[in-house]
Structure 1
Amino acid sequence: MLTAYGFVDKRLRPVPVESAEDLLRPDVVWIDSVEPNEHERALLQDVFRLKLDDEEVEDIEDSARCFVDEAGIHLNSFFLHQHHDGAEVVTVSFLLNEGRLLSIRNEELAAFRLFRMRARMQVDFVRTAEDVLLSIYDVAVEYAADVLEGVYADLDKVSRRVLNRNAVMTDAAMADTVADIAAQEDLNGKVRLDLMDTRRSLSFLLRCRVLQQTQEEDLREVLRDLESLNNHTAFLFDKINFLMDAVMGLINLQQNKIIKIFSIAAVVFLPPTVIASIYGMNFGEMPELQWHLGYPFALVLMVLSGIAPYWFFKRKGWL
């Protein structure tokens, strides 16, 4: 889908696109392409004199993700995409070309939806293609901050569950807790990757010196927000590691309790087993062999020999 945007009453609104000439209209400042088909890809390549290569877009080298050529300034940035199956980072390609911004992506992203809503509702929210690009990045950083707040809230719930002394965690509850922590670690890692890549793109854009002074100030403000969010992701990683260590400690404690029970049971039943083994021998000269009370005596002796170590362990507080 290919959508062009221009200004109507100082608000960013979509304008009809029927041919290549429509994309070059003076009032068009942003062309947004979502999952372009072959016709749309050919149209964009012809109008903007570029080659759309999906493999190059996914490269992680600085030279492949941010560069300048005859077509303009290219920025390939990660954006966080959350869906019902989890979260992922998807690449969005930007091109600043003669006062126009081209964005190409394969997913409908929350940051773009939020930006379009603000640009449609607020007067003079953006005025140039550079404003559009900076505002999209700014909204994406805000979205990442909201996601991190959600990660912290979920980790706080896990923390209360793990550190509650009065709660008894079953094996199933522990397995769910480990899965929850792992999911939050994965999401926090994707947010951190998104923030680091965004900082790289904005730093490159700043070095290109195509922005006005007020735009550079706005960009530096976004970079400061990125730095604070990066520090927050580091804090969340520490919290995740602590909770994972705490859960693994609880699992080890439960396993140790089970092993302890087996160990004590083995010690308790060892003396009766020894007595039973002695009286189970078939020697003819055994003193109690012909004794009428020999059998009950052996049973009582085995019971007492089992109670004695149990009482000793109980007194020591090992049970």
Structure 2
Amino acid sequence: MLNIFTLANGRLFQEEIESLEELSRFQPIWVDLESPTLEEKRWIKQYFGLSIPEDAMDEDIEESARFYEEDNGELHIRSDFLIADEDEPRTVRCAFILNQHNADLKSQGVLFSIHDEDVPVFRLLRMRARRAPGLIEDAKEVLLKLFDADAEYSADTLEGIYDKLETAGKKVLSGDVTDAMAGEVLGAIARQEDLNGRIRRNVMDTRRAVSFMMRSKMLNAEQFEEARQILRDIDSLDSHTAFLFDKINFLMDATVGFININQNKIIKIFSVASVALLPPTLIASLYGMNFQYMPELSQKWGYPYALTLMVASAVVPMWYFRRRGWLK
């Protein structure tokens, strides 16, 4: 899918392009390619003179090759963006190409973004740019606003994690935690831990991209200050993710502790039963010995006496355990 964005009256307008002829009618500041076809790449090559690298969205590219500037003035940035899907949270690799200096090409001053699937941050920026006049001034502003929206999206996701951990914490700290509930809570906590880790990695990647933009001297004074503010926001997110990791570890330990308590209760029941049945077993063993002279065996009351003695020897320990509170 090929979408272009033009700037008019301080607003960003989107057009979906379906032919090379249609592309030539516009002067965009942002060209967005979502899962581009070979034909769409050819249109970009023919009209803008820009060749999209084959490895633009490769996940295994070296870290040092993700941020660089070509000799012809093309700035290349490969950054990951978070998709906080409830069932399958993941990151999507996005490649950005920005020609700043080469005036011989129509790609000058145009931001190109390439990615495999729609990204929530992109949707967020498109919505804001349509509603807020003056939000976007040029292609560099688009790229900077994308990273700003990415930091905000991560912050919103962190708030969602905190709410879910709060719900899990109420279940754990209620005191009445069954094994089934504990398993459910552990699963929920593990999912939030995974998402929190992805956010931590995502903001680290955003920090590197923004820092690269600042070092490349492509930003004006106002944009440079905005980039510094984004870095400050990311620093605050780092501390918040660290806090959530601590909270997750606490809830994990508390849940596992309740599981251990439930298991100990079961073991305690078996232990009490073993101790309580030991005296009757001993009495039965004594009267089961095959000696010729055992006075009780020749008496009519011998059998009831043995039964009564065994019952009493079991009841007395149980009464003692109950009095000490060991059966609770």
Q: TM-score, normalised by structure 2?
A: 0.91
Spell out, residue by residue over 1:175-205, the C-alpha distance to the aligned partner (whole angstroms, 9 max, x if none). Answer: 1111110111111111111111111111111
Q: 1:231 is matched with which residue: 225, 233, 239? A: 239
Tell me the distance in 1 between the aligned counterparts of 2:310 and 2:45: 91
Cα distance in 2 for residues equivalent to 1:197 and 1:288: 87
Structure 1 contact 4–15 (Cα < 8 Å) conserved: yes
Aligned residues of 2:56 and 2:95 also touching (Cα < 8 A): no
Give distance in 1, aligned partners of 2:214 and 2:21. 30
Contact kept, 8 Å, 1:59 with 1:65, in 2: the verdict is no
Residue 31 of structure 1 corresponds to: 31
Distance 1:23 1:30, change over 3 A: farther
Q: Which runs of 5+ in 2 are unaligned?
A: 100-107
Aligned partners of 2:92 and 2:119 also within 8 Å = no
**TM-fit CA distance, 1:30:** 0.4
- Quote the Cα distance in structure 1 between the aligned partners of 2:124 and 2:110: 20
| CA RMSD, 1 decimal | 1.9
After superposition, residues 217-228 of structure 1 pair within 5 angstroms as 217-228=225-236
Instruction: Return 257-266 or 303-312, whichever deviates more.
Output: 303-312
CA distance in 1 between partners of 2:273 and 2:195 (Å): 45
Q: CA deviation at 1:314?
A: 2.4
Distance in 1 (CA, whole Å) between partners of 2:284 and 2:196 is 61
Q: How many residues align?
A: 315
Distance 1:180 1:305, change over 3 A: same
The two structures have a TM-score, normalised by structure 1, of 0.93
Could you tell me which amino acid in structure 2 is paired with residue 200 of structure 1? R
| More displaced stretch, 66-75 vs 289-298 | 66-75
Tell me whether 1:295 sits opposite 2:303 in the alignment: yes
What secondary structure is seen at the aligned counterpart in 1 of 2:295? coil
The Cα offsets for residues 231-260 of structure 1, whole Å up to 9 and x where unpaired, read as 100000000000000000000011011101
128, 133, 137: which one aligns with 1:127: 137
Structure 1 vs Structure 2: percent identity of aligned residues?
46
1:18-67 Cα distance to aligned partner (Å, 9 max, x none): 32894696x31100011111212333456313422156x31363312111
State how far apart, in whole Å, the 1-side matches of 2:16 and 2:191 are.
42
Counterpart for residue 40 of structure 2 = 40
1:50–1:251: structure 2 CA closer, same or farther, 3 Å change rule? same
- Does 1:52 pair with 2:54? yes
For the residues of structure 1 that align with 2:253 and 2:279, how far apart are their CA atoms? Answer: 40
Give, in angstroms, the shift of residue 309 of structure 1. Answer: 1.6
> 5+ residue gaps in structure 1?
none
The alignment partner of 1:209 has SS state of: coil
